[in-house]
A and B are shown apart, each in its own frame.
Chain A
Amino acid sequence: QSVLTQPPSVSEAPGHGVTISCSGSGSNIGNHGVNWYQQLPGEAPKLLIYYDTLLPSGVSDRFSGSKSGTSASLAISGLQSEDEADYYCAAWDDGLNGYVFGTGTKVTV
């Protein structure tokens, strides 16, 4: 059972935008940077956002991250069919002494 809660699914038309929430606590999101991962069907996860808001080289600027208190969000603008994937937030958790992933959100375009 994950300590980071995400909506199971979101759906939006091409060209529109979506926001995925990630709710945690003071021992994880509230005290550590949040990463976001994209997992395309049948593929390994890929880092999308690190340290709450930063984009790795090569990641489209249609993706953006934010954080407030013990919650984080991933926004995707100008949705494209290739954005259909599962998205996971993640952060270190001091109480568990481990890295925790969110429950995952399936994005349908």
Chain B
Amino acid sequence: EVQLLESGGRLVQPGGSLRLSCAASGFIFSEYWMTWVRQAPGKGLEWVANIKEDGSVKFSVDSLKGRFIISRDNANSIVFLEMDRLTGEDTGMYYCARGSDPDHWGQGTLVTVSS
């Protein structure tokens, strides 16, 4: 069974940084692109970034480039999202998902940016 477990979300002050993790199991992690998607409270889904199987190719939404960086550790089946210079607009649920066209999703980790 495919499982994706996000962690790392918490309350952080504006201007702060955070690293989210997503531990994967139930499939051969190194054979799949991985994706991060976020959802602000009461809003729709927003694609954040994805990363190729071997980490050699990464795409991210233009508005977040330079602040959010996706990476992966295939040895431990984990995908990360490093987030910098956080603002209130970054508040929301962050989901990791399998594939460049995501099929399986985790339950999400909540990031709250507030003073």
| Residues in chain A within 8 A of chain B (CB atoms) | 2, 33, 35, 37, 39, 43-47, 50, 56, 86, 88, 90, 92, 96-104
Q: Cα distance A103–B37 when bound, in Å?
A: 14
- Chain A residue contacts of B104, Cβ below 8 A: 47
Q: Which of B11-19, B21-29, B58-66, B68-76 contacts A (4 or more CB under 8 A)?
A: B58-66
A-B contact count (CB 8 A): 56
Check if A99 sits within 8 Å of B103, measured CB to CB. Answer: no
Check if B95 sits within 8 Å of A45, measured CB to CB. Answer: yes
| Residues in chain B within 8 A of chain A (CB atoms) | 35, 37, 44-47, 50, 59-62, 95, 100-108
User: By DSSP majority rule, is chain A's interface helix, strand, loop, or mixed?
Assistant: strand
- Chain B residue contacts of A98, Cβ below 8 A: 47, 59-62
Output the least CB separation between B91 and chain A (Å).
17
